[in-house]
């Protein structure tokens, strides 16, 4: 959770594509137990809100930022999020709430945790206390489990860590009367991510001492009493406050049974393109201390776009699920309060599965969208096509192409409308750079830090497969099968309605695909 002291207040290849389609539209486990009621249209949404995404999660109304408390329990994926119930800019932080059977279709639920007695509900996590280690669950026969949320309370000049418990699958919550469970008397101590560490049979909490650029770890047998374990940092990027840490065991690609630990910690400001962003470290964790592999002075960035922050992984995923899955907030603190939307602000990324890939430079994080996106492909075959020259761009589209050795210059897509607004998604001639250029994407006043071109490094692999998911105001790009990822918001005054190759330069490979996607919401 970004502290408001740090917030700017203004603030090959047809085969290759086939492999991408299989790898990147993988299904999540079928739900078990009761399903949520049918998805409803967000209250306050209007067809006139042309920037509201159709497959990305947005709040029904008002302001949203960090995802919180991601957890799977009894057939439902829970998404909590930082939410202002009273307005469309940051304030009165509470936990909004939604559930999904498949990480794709979301049902909005009432606000879960609200500001009270001058204490706002900042970021945190949620876990399934399966064996009632906390003593807070009410066993029902053999089922001893309940959901426990661990969150930062922000108020009265300090930040503390607190608990809340739900006995009814997250529908209602009771704050623990013994709160806070950790109070260091500090004003910048927040964002607890808690997980069960099986080898030491105890809970581990990952927090940040934000202004000290340190990640602090604690352990507990019961979620209520906590003992400090160790600190990590300062390291990597330290140009702003550290926030929203996560510590995950991530499998290594093509190496069954092998894994490494990844420590993710975000920073605001201090990201490569200004404002907020996320960095990660790869290393080992023995239940007490995280130790990074090699030097930690050069940051490794999670996402090379401008708009991916506060990512957090799901707790308690089904055993058959491969790899951690996380989501991030698709915005930037430079302009989050000024997004040119109407009744709402803020969007979440699509869920992404995480892997580690061996490269000549060491292990690198790979992110691939998950959640059965293939189920949203339009049934009308006329809306799917090989992209030859210019084509009509659907509101939501999945575009895939491959840049090969025979391609020269800048190869990529121009998304545009009839009033001359455009955004460019491109790979450089030598495939060493992926870029998104939104300098001409809005013919109207734009927030500071928005009208820019951003780029991320590409490892040369002979062929570079690129996948572009455009969803009205959200663009997510995955190159080299998720090794280089960019997430950006775009704010045209009218929807982008056409797509063509930049400068008419089509890739030598004929492997291009444009697929239209249906909305996950009714009447949107």
Take residue 344 and report the two structure tokens written for it. 């709402």
Separation of alpha carbons 13 and 209, rounded Å: 47
In sign, the C-alpha dihedral spanning 457, 307, 160, 195 is negative
Is 297 assigned a catalytic role?
no
Is 509 in a helix, a strand, or coil?
coil
Separation of alpha carbons 388 and 511, rounded Å: 10
Separation of alpha carbons 141 and 156, rounded Å: 42
Cβ atoms within 10 Å of 388's Cβ, excluding its own: 11
Beta strands in 370-452 (DSSP E): 391-392, 396-403, 411-416, 422-427, 433-437
Contact 171, 164 (CB under 8 A): no
| Phi, psi angle pair for 18, to nearest 5° | -65, -40
Question: CA of 85: how far to CAs of 113, 124, 492, in Å?
Answer: 11, 18, 27
Beta bridge partners of 465: 402
Question: CA of 428: how far to CAs of 221, 411, 434, 439, 479, in Å?
Answer: 52, 6, 7, 18, 12
Nearest CA to 287 out of 220, 213, 233, 338 is that of 220
Length of the chain: 524
Beta bridge partners of 101: none
Catalytic residue among 47, 66, 361, 471: 66
- Show Cβ contacts of residue 400 under 8 Å, excluding neighbours closer than 6 positions: 17, 20, 21, 465, 466, 467, 468, 511, 512, 513
- How does strand 309-313 pair with strand 190-197? unpaired
Element (DSSP H or E) covering residue 290: strand 290-292
Nearest CA to 205 out of 214, 213, 215 is that of 215
Ramachandran sector of residue 270 (left: φ over 0; alpha: ψ -120 to 50; beta: rest): left
Take residue 515 and report the two structure tokens written for it. 């697929």
Separation of alpha carbons 104 and 164, rounded Å: 26
Active site residues: 66
């Amino acid at each position: 959770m970004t502290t408001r002291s740090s917030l700017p207040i203004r603030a090959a290849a047809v085969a290759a594509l086939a492999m991408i389609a299989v790898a990147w539209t993988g299904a999540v486990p079928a739900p078990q137990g009761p399903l949520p009621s049918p998805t409803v249209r967000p209250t306050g949404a209007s067809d006139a809100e042309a920037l509201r995404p159709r497959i990305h999660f947005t709040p029904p109304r008002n302001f949203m930022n960090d995802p919180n408390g991601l957890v799977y329990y009894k057939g439902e994926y829970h998404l909590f999020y930082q939410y202002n119930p009273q307005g469309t800019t940051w304030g009165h932080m509470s936990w909004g709430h939604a559930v999904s059977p498949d990480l794709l279709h979301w049902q909005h639920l009432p606000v879960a945790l609200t500001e009270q007695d001058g204490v706002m509900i900042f970021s945190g996590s949620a876990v399934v206390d399966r064996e009632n280690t906390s003593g807070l669950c009410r066993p029902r026969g053999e089922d001893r489990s309940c959901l426990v949320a661990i969150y930062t309370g922000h108020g009265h000049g300090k930040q503390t860590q607190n608990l809340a418990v739900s006995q009814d699958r997250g529908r209602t919550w009771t704050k623990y009367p013994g709160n806070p469970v950790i109070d260091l008397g500090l004003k910048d101590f927040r964002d607890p991510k808690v997980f069960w560490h099986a080898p030491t049979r105890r809970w581990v909490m990952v927090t940040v001492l934000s202004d000290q650029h340190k990640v602090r770890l604690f352990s507990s047998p019961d979620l209520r009493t906590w003992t400090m374990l160790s600190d990590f940092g300062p390291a990597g990027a330290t140009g702003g406050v550290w926030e929203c840490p996560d510590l995950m065991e991530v499998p290594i690609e093509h190496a069954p049974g092998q894994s490494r630990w990844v420590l993710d910690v975000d920073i605001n400001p201090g990201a490569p393109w200004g404002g907020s962003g996320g960095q990660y470290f790869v290393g080992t964790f023995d239940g007490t201390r995280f130790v990074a592999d090699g030097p930690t002075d050069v940051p490794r960035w999670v996402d090379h776009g401008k708009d991916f922050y506060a990512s957090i992984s799901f707790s308690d995923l089904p055993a058959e699920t491969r790899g951690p899955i996380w989501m991030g907030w698709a915005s930037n603190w430079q302009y989050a309060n000024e997004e040119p939307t109407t009744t709402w602000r803020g969007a979440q990324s699509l869920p992404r599965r995480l892997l580690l890939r061996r490269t000549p430079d060491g292990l690198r994080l790979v992110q691939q969208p998950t959640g059965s996106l293939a189920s949203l492909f339009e049934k009308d075959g006329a809306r799917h096509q090989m992209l030859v020259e210019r084509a009509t761009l659907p509101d939501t589209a999945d575009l895939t192409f491959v840049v090969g050795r025979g391609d020269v210059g800048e190869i990529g897509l121009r998304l545009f409308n009839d009033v001359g607004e455009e955004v460019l998604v491109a790979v450089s001639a030598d495939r060493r750079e992926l870029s998104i250029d939104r300098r001409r994407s809005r013919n109207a006043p734009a927030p500071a830090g928005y009208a820019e071109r951003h780029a991320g490094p590409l490892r040369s692999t002979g062929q570079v497969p690129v996948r572009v998911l455009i969803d009205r105001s959200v663009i997510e790009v995955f190159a080299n099968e998720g090794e280089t990822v960019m997430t950006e918001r775009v704010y045209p005054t009218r929807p982008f309605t056409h797509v063509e190759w930049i400068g008419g330069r089509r890739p030598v490979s004929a492997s291009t695909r444009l697929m239209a996607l249906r909305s996950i919401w009714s009447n949107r």
